[in-house]
Chains A and B, each alone.
Chain A
Amino acid sequence: MIRFDHVTKKYKTNIGLDDVSVSIEKGDFVFLVGPSGAGKSTFIKLILKEINADGGDIYVGDFHVNSLSNRTIPKFRRKIGIVFQDFRLLHKKTVYENVAFAMEVLHKPHRLIRKQVPQILSLVGISDKAHKYPDELSAGEQQRVAIARAIVNNPAVLIADEPTGNLDPDTAWEIMDLLDQINLRGTTIVMVTHAKDIVDRMKKRVIAIEKGHIVRDEKGAYGYNLEEVE
């Protein structure tokens, strides 16, 4: 589903990623862990083609990401659901409109939008907040809206950069349950996180990055440093 082939990304003075090769299969649930500045967000941004690689090849689904033109980026992004730590909802739109927007972008017919948006809102458990604005919601509720928006078009991949970073532990677990559920429906999930307890308990594949290199890639627990793993 996602394949990095000797990918390198250098910033002016810093290394983002250095010769990284990795493959994530369809239906996988992968945690991306590592210390601050390791290159996790760089990894995510490269997948989204928010930044361009200096070397190597990136494949997502049927797309060769390196060779996407500015024109085709929107088409490509529609195949990927994205969730951020800071939710990134449209403040001037209601919960319903935020989710509907993702469908309008795809020129989906109104009938379908009216049918599917409530279904997704009920899936993520915020049906009762449909006509509220993001600012009127709790952090956990806002993240649910962001997830609803990310999955409403049934993307093959869901990318999440620290989706629980701004949430209290209980709410974080609710969000993790939701993501697990979405993964069970067949969506590939790549999630960046610093939350050790979550990674340890979920028992999913863990890719640890440090200084731009993948230092560990196995199923199980957190710990991006070999010495830290007992």
Chain B
Amino acid sequence: MFGSISYSLKQGIIQLFRNKGMAAASIFSILAMLLILGMVFVISVNVNMFTEVVKQDYDQVEVFLLDKTTQEEAEVLMTKLTAHEGVKAVEYRSKEKALEILKDRWGESGYLLDSLGRNPLPASIMISVDSLDKASEVADFAGTLKGIDDIQFYKETVEKLTKITNFLQASAVVIMAFLVFISVIVVSNTVKLTVHARQREIRIMRYVGATNWFIRGPFIVEGIVMGVISALLATGFIMFIYNKLIEAVGSQILAIVSTPLISVEYLTINMGIIFLALGTAIGVWGSIVSMRRFLSA
């Protein structure tokens, strides 16, 4: 077993060097598809991060309490709300606290509020929800409770954002699936060419009494090596471009949408792993599938 693995390794690498043209063509096609995939990946990761950050601002529901609602009643309400599914945290905001926040927001004109005889602001409960999708449901639930005057949450904004995010994520998945599909066809055809060119060789090997796995071994090694080379090239290339991009527009983007771009390190590690897995899988898959016809009896 070990003997045949080392045989496959050696032969696979020798084979690769003796078929430089075919190898280059295969590596190029895997590389091209990984690059396009990488771009989609970079964009979708960043859009995701952007929406996550934005969502955090909107994942709250504010429940205003009637003035006659006592602190004890408010606490009962809070317990009920905390127990509800999808609720992350609740926080009581007294009338005084609400006024303070408003004063803060008004800034220099805040003193105007001092002249008010009676505090007109209601007390409220701030509910943080697990995810945006839960906000609407939590709000509905809060509406059924007693002692509540009004409920406010960014329903429309939230719904729009959710729609956009879902759409973006769905299109990213579709685009990636499509790309994988296309590249798999391209790669398998390239490998088929290689195998076809070696059809004669394979027949001869069978005459000499080689088993199918013995014949496949070097081709699989070849596939793995080509996959790994493409993955490394693609990762390096995307990193280089991405680094330049961050240098060029990173700070502008931070200023405009107040979210940073995903860091180069994070991207390198994750994309490197995905590329290696994908590149190797395509290489191996290409070898096995495209040889099937030539290895049947």
A and B: bona fide binding partners: yes
- Provided the pairs A90-B201, A92-B18 are in contact, do residues A82 and B7 lie with their beta carbons within 8 angstroms? no
B209 touches A105 (CB 8 A): yes
Instruction: Given contacts A106-B209, A109-B3, list 8 more A-B pairs with CB under 8 A.
Output: A76-B209, A88-B203, A88-B207, A92-B201, A101-B208, A102-B209, A104-B7, A107-B3
- B:42-88 near A, CB below 8 Å: none
B201 touches A74 (CB 8 A): no
Report the separation of the CA atoms of residues A134 and B210 in the bound assembly, to the nearest whole angstrom: 20
On chain A, the number of residues with a Cβ less than 8 Å from chain B's Cβ atoms is 22
- 1/0 per residue, CB under 8 A from A, across B254-297: the answer is 00000000000000000000000000000000000000000001
- 1/0 per residue, CB under 8 A from B, across A102-114: the answer is 1011110100000
Q: Can you report 20 A-B residue pairs in the complex whose CB atoms are below 8 A from each other?
A: A48-B207, A70-B297, A73-B297, A74-B209, A74-B214, A75-B209, A76-B209, A77-B206, A77-B207, A78-B208, A82-B207, A82-B208, A88-B204, A90-B205, A92-B15, A92-B201, A102-B208, A105-B210, A109-B3, A149-B208
A89 CB-CB contact with B under 8 Å: yes
A86 to chain B, nearest CB (A): 10
Query: Which of B7, B15, B204, B211 is A89 in contact with, Cβ under 8 Å?
Result: B204
A133 to chain B, nearest CB (A): 10
- B:202-228 near A, CB below 8 Å: 203-212, 214
Determine the chain A residues whose CB is within 8 A of the CB of B19 once the complex forms: 92
A93 to chain B, nearest CB (A): 9
Report the separation of the CA atoms of residues A183 and B59 in the bound assembly, to the nearest whole angstrom: 89
List residues of chain A with CB under 8 Å of any chain B CB.
48, 70, 73-78, 82, 88-92, 101-102, 104-107, 109, 149
Determine the chain B residues whose CB is within 8 A of the CB of A73 once the complex forms: 297
- Provided the pairs A92-B18, A107-B3 are in contact, do residues A74 and B207 lie with their beta carbons within 8 angstroms? no
Report the separation of the CA atoms of residues A77 and B208 in the bound assembly, to the nearest whole angstrom: 6
B214 to chain A, nearest CB (A): 6
Report the separation of the CA atoms of residues A150 and B88 in the bound assembly, to the nearest whole angstrom: 76
B210 touches A90 (CB 8 A): no
List residues of chain B with CB under 8 Å of any chain A CB.
3-4, 7, 15, 18-19, 200-201, 203-212, 214, 297
Look across to chain B and name the residue whose beta carbon is closest to the beta carbon of A91: B201
Look across to chain A and name the residue whose beta carbon is closest to the beta carbon of B296: A70
Look across to chain A and name the residue whose beta carbon is closest to the beta carbon of B10: A104
Determine the chain B residues whose CB is within 8 A of the CB of A92 once the complex forms: 15, 18-19, 201
Report the separation of the CA atoms of residues A73 and B207 in the bound assembly, to the nearest whole angstrom: 10
Report the separation of the CA atoms of residues A109 and B18 in the bound assembly, to the nearest whole angstrom: 25
Determine the chain A residues whose CB is within 8 A of the CB of B211 once the complex forms: 74, 105
A9 to chain B, nearest CB (A): 16
Determine the chain A residues whose CB is within 8 A of the CB of B18 once the complex forms: 92
Report the separation of the CA atoms of residues A80 and B205 in the bound assembly, to the nearest whole angstrom: 13
Look across to chain B and name the residue whose beta carbon is closest to the beta carbon of A146: B204
B205 touches A105 (CB 8 A): yes
Look across to chain A and name the residue whose beta carbon is closest to the beta carbon of B19: A92
Report the separation of the CA atoms of residues A84 and B214 in the bound assembly, to the nearest whole angstrom: 23
Report the separation of the CA atoms of residues A210 and B211 in the bound assembly, to the nearest whole angstrom: 35
A80 to chain B, nearest CB (A): 8
Look across to chain B and name the residue whose beta carbon is closest to the beta carbon of A149: B208
Look across to chain A and name the residue whose beta carbon is closest to the beta carbon of B297: A70
B206 to chain A, nearest CB (A): 7
B25 to chain A, nearest CB (A): 17
B205 to chain A, nearest CB (A): 7
B297 touches A105 (CB 8 A): no
Look across to chain B and name the residue whose beta carbon is closest to the beta carbon of A150: B208
Determine the chain A residues whose CB is within 8 A of the CB of B207 once the complex forms: 48, 77, 82, 88
Report the separation of the CA atoms of residues A78 and B205 in the bound assembly, to the nearest whole angstrom: 11
Q: Give the 4 A-B residue pairs with the shortest CB-CB distance, closest first.
A: A78-B209, A77-B209, A74-B211, A105-B210
Determine the chain A residues whose CB is within 8 A of the CB of B205 once the complex forms: 90, 101, 105
B214 touches A105 (CB 8 A): yes
Look across to chain B and name the residue whose beta carbon is closest to the beta carbon of A104: B7
Look across to chain A and name the residue whose beta carbon is closest to the beta carbon of B6: A110
B201 to chain A, nearest CB (A): 6
Report the separation of the CA atoms of residues A105 and B207 in the bound assembly, to the nearest whole angstrom: 11
